[in-house]
A and B are shown apart, each in its own frame.
Chain A
Amino acid sequence: MATTVFRMQGITKVYRTGAVDVQALRGIDLELFEGEMVVLLGPSGSGKSTLLNILGGLDTPSAGRAFFRETELTSLGDAGLTAFRRNHVGFVFQFYNLVPSLTARENVALVTEIATKPMRPEEALERVGLADRINHFPAELSGGEQQRVAIARAIAKRPDVLLCDEPTGALDSQTGIVVLQALYDINRDLGTVTALITHNAAIRNIAHRVIYLADGQILRTQENASRAAPSEVSW
């Protein structure tokens, strides 16, 4: 049995907006293991992003506890969470979120400059197949390329975990496959724990494990006996 990297116990999240309370998560228990690639699957509004944000220290739960290795994330303040994100987490978002005024290399450098043992920005970009786009600004890159820059930026610090929120959501299937391939390779080569959100069921086959969410609760988890290669996925 592999070591546990993340552990969540009874995580609940309530958003209070005006008069109504939204129960985004209702008692989540979850573990993520070393080297694992997990797909979080569920309909829109089921609480996937909320869960991922809590895992990554972007948000705090209303109740319950979350651990990263021995550290209790739910006991950390803003500074502690910032340090946690800085040192351990790589994020990839649906809308790339690149800084438009920085080139691909500089966007990656944004991370490597504050990381403790980063790879060179060029190396990270090579890993996602963008060696020849290093000096391009985001506006000069296609959607898939921008997302791969975002992945390069996420992995450049050699994070312990890679959290991807619908990384292919804004991409067509062909481009999406290239992006998934990049994530797949990184998980295989560097052993980075990867959690990947999607509402696209076809993608679940590339994961070691699939976690089904609905209405803020885990419906079930499923181990894939054999994983598919990203190129076999289609939507």
Chain B
Amino acid sequence: MRALDLKLIRDLRRIWAQSLAIALVLGCGVMVLVLANGSERSLILTRDAYYDRNRFADVFATATRAPEALKGEIAHVEGVAQVDTRIAVNVVLDLPGVQKPAMARVLSLPPDGPPLLNVPLLRLGRMPDPLHPNEVVLSEDFAQANRLIPGETFRAILNGQMRTLTVTGLVLSPEFIYLIGPGTMMPDDQTYGIIWMNRDAVAAATDLSGAFNDIALQLTPTASRDRVIQQLDLLLAPYGGTGAYGRDRQTSDAFLSSELHQLSAMSLILPPIFLIVSAFLVNMVLSRLIALERPQIGLLKAIGYSGQEIATHYLKLSIGIGIIGVALGWIAGAWLGRSMTALYADFYRFPYLLYAPGTWSFVISGILGLVTVIVGALRAVRASARLSPAVAMLPPAAPLFRRGWIDGIGRTFRLRQTTMMILRSITRWPGRASVTLFGVSASVAVLIASFFSFDSMKQMVDEVFYQTNRQDITLTLTGSRLRSTEEAALTLPGVLRVEGAYSLPVRLIHGSKSRLATVEARGDGDVLARLLDTDGHPVRIPPEGLTLSESLAQELAVTPGDTIDMAMLVPPRETVQVPVAAVIRQSLGQSAYMAETPIFALMRQSAQVNQVHLLTDPAALPAFFAAVKRAPGVNSVTLWTDVRDQFDATMNENLMRMTIIYSILGILITVGVVYNAARIQLSERAHELASLRVLGFTRAEVGYVLVGELMLLTTVAIPFGWLGGYGFSTMIASGFSTDLFRIPLVITRKTYALASVITFASALASALIVRRRLDRVNIAMSLKQRQ
């Protein structure tokens, strides 16, 4: 090996702690890239393969009752490649040994083999025998959670009739990768699942022989999806069509897309911080190293090494650091990616979910990592190449300190000379002080941005589950009923309060923008399901016009005062013009709201309900559940208490994991910056500090000069970190917000405080570790040294 390369390796080994500190910061950036990018890629690959193999449909629609003959007509619509019709109904189940009512969606299977589209994938057992009307297959996780293996039976109320069904197999479906019950946000395998059953049996039970109420289309590659949707809506309108939609409104796919969106936001927002900090660190450390090795550089030049060879030498050194960082990042990224994928397996029902980060995410993160260190090194390296050999070998001149405002401060406040040393050093090397400031504030910012997700989640949970939805239970009815249903609901066991609700499926159209939505009718006296404004005060629905959620308004590009077209998708099926009266901010959901009176006036009907919200007595729940399981006309049951608990538990667990990871990332930045700054201080000022010891200063007093400067900088950096953290959180809130969630931007004082304390403590620890080296400095030796 060449002597110069030997020097390089030994230099790296000598400054290993500093190199490692930089490599760790760099590694964080690389890791997040590999992790986010790799997970995104893995999810996309798996999803696409699964969709392709199991023929996930492109367009979906439901109707109340459409004749099977319509299928042919739909197949002729331009752009339609495949049509698959079926019957779909919600059922309430009575599972053995389960007190709460579980729910399921029953989907029909064609008599002659698997469906054309949305093909279920058999995991265990066999598909139902077309000749046995009571045989069914179940979605795998639901079956497993309820211990329903093939051969077991259970009871379901199908259209008011109790049926005993036999499980023949377990399946997965591309339609239900993310499977959630109506009104919920997270999968609950115990209480919600999918049942596939022979079409004849479902048709008989639902009076839909020769008809369908659910349809899926596959489009040709060149088809215009929106045109097909328009056509399909027209064809289905006479049969109770409630609006066709594409994959973007298909629940499972929408959740998956929002996850992908967040992963890609993560890989855009986080890594740059780490890369920038590591570039600065490389610059700081390399500049110091080059200053220390000035005589050696001069000598190398004197004996005939060219400036370029010397530049290459130091560039290689920083690339060495880069390689270590990239390798650490790769390893951590691949490892975390694996556990992230395991986490996904908890939420997403894929038949297989391989962590396949692909070479690309490694290559790109590796290149970015190396480019970062090279860019960071460039300035220092260029200076080394330019050093004139004759000058380089002269002992460096004593740093030039100037009188200035610092002296005024010193005199005014009668500062000690050790404090003056600190202030002078900061003003003498403003570049290095800035790197420390920048790094520490970046660290505070990363911590705030990670703790902020706790704050915003808490706010969301509070808003969704405690402020706006205060009911214990929501019953969704199979159709619209008269208001008198409220009184009937009040007679159910344990029901303390009933609030009827009505939601109207519509298509909202504004200019070229069109969007399926539900309009919820709101009465003045509603206290359970409420609307809140940004400050958390209940909103009074304006007596006329629509109130839209912010994200819906944005999507339609409307503001209060605009008029939009509202196509009602239930009788009277008219399109009316309505003004937008107000826009409100909501974390979840994309609903529209209207006061009761105008909505039913537009529908030319008397007030109706298709949902009832209930407050219940917990003690009476068993009796209530038993009654609901047998109640006719109940389409689905949402147990808000369960949803709340589950949301809390899942969020806490995952947020905790993420927070731990982000905290480590934040701490690493501080450690990398402060440790390196301290080491450089020490090497630069060993002589000065040793002189202080000679003069009789104690270790503590001398340590104060070293640690004091860094802690002063840290303290100054923290408020900047607050600003940065706020900006960073804003980016995350908007970057992570999707159609499904709007992340509210709330940062509590506790978050600011916690981030500051953690950063301060890790800065202090890093500085103290370096201070300990002061004890080992041999006073006599360091005074003798030439520098």
In the complex the two chains form, what is the Cα distance from A93 to B299 in whole Å? Answer: 9
In the complex the two chains form, what is the Cα distance from A91 to B10 in whole Å? Answer: 25
- A95 lies within 8 A of B295 (CB): yes
Contact of A53 among B2, B307, B390 (CB under 8 A): B390
- A97 lies within 8 A of B6 (CB): no
Contact of A82 among B3, B14, B296, B301 (CB under 8 A): B301
A106 at the binding interface (Cβ < 8 Å): yes
Tell me which residues from 301 to 321 in chain B have a Cβ below 8 Å from any Cβ of chain A: 301-307
Enumerate chain A residues within 8 angstroms of B2, measured Cβ to Cβ: 109, 113
- A97 lies within 8 A of B3 (CB): no
Tell me which residues from 56 to 78 in chain A have a Cβ below 8 Å from any Cβ of chain B: 56, 58-59, 78
A107 at the binding interface (Cβ < 8 Å): yes
- A101 lies within 8 A of B10 (CB): yes
In the complex the two chains form, what is the Cα distance from A154 to B302 in whole Å? Answer: 10
Tell me which residues from 112 to 133 in chain A have a Cβ below 8 Å from any Cβ of chain B: 113-115
Enumerate chain A residues within 8 angstroms of B300, measured Cβ to Cβ: 99, 110
Residue of A nearest to B397 (CB): A17
In the complex the two chains form, what is the Cα distance from A95 to B4 in whole Å? Answer: 20
Residue of A nearest to B300 (CB): A110
- Beyond A95-B295, A97-B295, whether A110 also contacts B303 by CB under 8 A is yes
- A82 lies within 8 A of B11 (CB): no
- A58 lies within 8 A of B302 (CB): yes
Enumerate chain A residues within 8 angstroms of B305, measured Cβ to Cβ: 82, 86, 114
A4 at the binding interface (Cβ < 8 Å): no
B388 at the binding interface (Cβ < 8 Å): yes
Enumerate chain B residues within 8 angstroms of A89, measured Cβ to Cβ: 302-304
B6 to chain A, nearest CB (A): 6
Contact of A99 among B7, B14, B390 (CB under 8 A): B7
Chain B interfacial residues counted at CB < 8 A: 25
A83 at the binding interface (Cβ < 8 Å): yes
- A102 lies within 8 A of B10 (CB): yes
B416 at the binding interface (Cβ < 8 Å): no
* Chain A interface size, under 10 / 10 to 19 / 20 to 34 / 35 or more: 20 to 34
A209 at the binding interface (Cβ < 8 Å): no
Interface of B (DSSP majority class): helix
A79 at the binding interface (Cβ < 8 Å): yes
Enumerate chain A residues within 8 angstroms of B4, measured Cβ to Cβ: 110, 113
- Beyond A93-B393, A102-B3, whether A114 also contacts B304 by CB under 8 A is yes
- B302 lies within 8 A of A91 (CB): yes
A178 at the binding interface (Cβ < 8 Å): no
- A58 lies within 8 A of B389 (CB): yes
Enumerate chain A residues within 8 angstroms of B393, measured Cβ to Cβ: 93, 95, 97
In the complex the two chains form, what is the Cα distance from A82 to B388 in whole Å? Answer: 11
A26 at the binding interface (Cβ < 8 Å): no
- Beyond A53-B390, A107-B3, A113-B3, whether A85 also contacts B304 by CB under 8 A is yes
A73 to chain B, nearest CB (A): 14
Enumerate chain B residues within 8 angstroms of A78, measured Cβ to Cβ: 307
Tell me which residues from 541 to 589 in chain B have a Cβ below 8 Å from any Cβ of chain A: none
B786 at the binding interface (Cβ < 8 Å): yes
Residue of B nearest to A137 (CB): B10
Tell me which residues from 170 to 225 in chain A have a Cβ below 8 Å from any Cβ of chain B: none
A23 at the binding interface (Cβ < 8 Å): no
Enumerate chain B residues within 8 angstroms of A90, measured Cβ to Cβ: 303
B298 at the binding interface (Cβ < 8 Å): yes
The residues of B with any CB-CB pair to A shorter than 8 Å are: 2-4, 6-7, 10-11, 14, 295-296, 298-307, 388-390, 393, 786
Can you list the 9 inter-chain pairs with the closest CB atoms, starting with the nearest?
A: A86-B304, A101-B10, A97-B299, A109-B3, A110-B3, A59-B390, A85-B304, A58-B390, A106-B3
